[in-house]
Structure 1
Amino acid sequence: MFVRRRHAVAAVLAVALLTTGCGSPASSPTPEPTATAPSPTDSDTAAFAAAEATYRAYVDALNAVDLSDPTTFEPVYALTTGDVQEADRRNLSQFNAEGVAVSGESVIMRVEYNAQSRSLHACLDVSTVALTAPDGTSLVDAERRDIQSLKVSFDEAGTRIARIEVDDTARC
């Protein structure tokens, strides 16, 4: 996730956890929408709505995680599959076992749908998210960017997140 390059608790906390140190600096200009983008079809609109709802629910679930209470992890797992779920299970369990604390919230700044790849590009503000070891040491990568630029891929139904990766091709 991200702490110590454990990509995905970012998504764990999407959270500062995608603290791989990616994304664009907060001072980067907001890109203009592309005027040549094709209009979405009804099926594209429905796919975007499902994917966006899933991603927003995932970020909300991560924001609600209490690392000292494993029962708060279940809503995160319910929205993921495959490698993302495995990484979330591993990281959340490890943070719990190590007594790590999380504070702050991830905030979705923008979400755009790519109909061709059936994925989302998300700009996620993790500037207030902190992971702290029991001794008070920050576990957040010093090079983590406050704004994460992510590509989020889904299962066929668009109801579970299958992959989250840094998207250096897009600016937030």
Structure 2
Amino acid sequence: MILRATTATLGLAAAALMLSGCLAPAPEPTPTPTAVFASEDEAFAAAEETYRAYVDAENARWADPHSEPAPDSFLIGEALEEQIEVNRQFREIGLRVVGENHIERVDRIRANSGTGETVLEVCIDATDSRVVDESNQDVTPANRAPQVLVRVEFVAVGDELAIEKSVTAREDGC
């Protein structure tokens, strides 16, 4: 009787061990990614706000090289690399920009509220800005168009947008 109970107990224990090895633990719930924005309109508004803040920072930096925030703080990736290179080249040849650029129009191209990736086309009026040399002589190209259309791509960085890419879409106006 003891032998029979022990065999039965061992059989149950072995079955329990086998079952516990075969059954995987319950899967951990994976969090559902939260959308960056509640809507496309919200993404577009954030992109436009970011770009306007960038232009304001750039205009302020042209007037005062120590102004904050730095225009570069709005950039990431390709846009940041290009800005650093342009600034380096201007310093090397003794050029700087004076005056201000103004945003004339912002066109909404596309937005993904889930990822935050947003694209705008922005019409920049450059009539109030000039390129000057070390002696403050205006060296702005005579054929520079008064307005330029720029295609701007944004990505989410945390809960904010950053300018990832900016390319001229039209050089001859908007």
> With structure 1 as the length reference, what TM-score do the two structures score?
0.64
What residue in structure 1 maps to residue 70 of structure 2? Answer: 75
SS of 1:143's partner is coil
The alignment status of 1:118 with 2:121, answered yes or no, reads no
Instruction: Output aligned runs, 1:41-56, within 5 Å.
Output: 43-56=39-52
Which residue identity lines up with residue 60 of structure 2 in the other structure?
A: A
For 1:72 and 1:130, the matched residues in 2 are separated by 19
Structure 1 stretches of 5 or more lacking a match? 1-40
Q: Does the 8 A contact of 1:67 with 1:96 survive in 2?
A: no
The structure showing larger relative contact order (alpha-carbon pairs under 8 Å, at least 6 residues apart) is 1
Pairs aligned (count): 131
Q: Cα 1:92–1:59, aligned 2, differ >3 Å: closer, same or farther?
A: same
Deviations 1:6-49 (A, max 9, x none): xxxxxxxxxxxxxxxxxxxxxxxxxxxxxxxxxxx951111101
Checking the alignment, whether the CA contact within 8 Å between 1:67 and 1:99 is kept in structure 2 is: no
| Cα distance change on mapping 1:89 and 1:108 into 2, 3 Å | same
1:159 aligns to what SS in structure 2? strand
Give the Cα separation in 2 of the matches to 1:148 and 1:132. Answer: 19
Q: For 2:136 and 2:51, locate their aligned partners in 1 and report how far apart those are by CA, in whole Å.
A: 31
1:170 deviation in Å?
10
Query: 2:168 maps to what in 1?
Result: 166
Measured in 2, the distance between the counterparts of 1:133 and 1:45 equals 42
CA distance in 1, matches of 2:171, 2:38: 27
Q: Residues 147 and 172 of structure 2 are in contact (CA less than 8 Å); yes or no, is this contact kept in structure 1?
A: no
- Structure 2 unaligned segments of length 5 or more: list them: 1-36, 112-116
Q: Which has the higher strand share?
A: 2
Residues of 2 paired with 1:120 and 1:100: CA distance?
29
The 1-side partners of 2:129 and 2:173 are apart by: 21
Instruction: Decide which structure has greater helix share.
Output: 2
CA RMSD of aligned residues (A): 3.0
Letter in 1 for 2:82: A
Give the drift of 1:84: 1.3
Please, what TM-score do these two structures have when normalized by structure 2? Answer: 0.63
- Matches of 2:130 and 2:161, distance apart in 1: 28
Shift of 1:134: 1.4
